[in-house]
Structure 1
Amino acid sequence: MSLASHLDELRKKHGDIEREIDEALLHPSVDDLEIVNLKRRKLALKDEIEKLAGSPTTH
């Protein structure tokens, strides 16, 4: 897998998790721990994307 296609796949997963988080926040029955875990996965993907893309972390 090329670097570009790997980055595209990571960005897709990042967007999927973002949508999962948005959906979970709309339902009060969702466990807060589940939301925290989703946010951690999303952040880990963001860090990996930035590392592979050679971009410095801005936040």
Structure 2
Amino acid sequence: MQTAHITALEAKHASLDQRIVAESQRPMPDTVAIAELKKQKLRLKEEIASAH
């Protein structure tokens, strides 16, 4: 069960990374949205690290 949880967290982390890249490539990126996505990504990274 723990492995499934970590896999799900890693999938969410990758999804956030894709959203950050997509937002960054827009002609007028929303820097507030990018900052929030990066915070969410960092929280997930910390949760993944603590689960190992």
Answer yes or no: same fold by TM over 0.5: yes
Residue 7 of structure 2 is matched in structure 1 by 8
Which 4+ residue blocks in structure 1 deviate beyond 3 angstroms? none
Unaligned runs of 5+ residues in structure 2 are none
Query: Larger Cα Rg: Structure 1 or Structure 2?
Result: 1
Task: Please give the TM-score of this superposition, normalised by the length of structure 1.
Answer: 0.84
**Structure 1 portions without partners, runs of 5+:** 54-59
The percentage of counterpart residues that share the same residue type is 31
Cα displacement string for residues 1-55 of structure 1 (whole angstroms, at most 9, x for unaligned residues): x1000000000000000000000000132321100000000000000000001xx
Cα distance between partner residues in 2 of 1:28 and 1:47: 31
Partner amino acid, structure 1, of 2:7: D
Q: TM-score, normalised by structure 2?
A: 0.94
The alignment of Structure 1 onto Structure 2 pairs a total of residues equal to 52
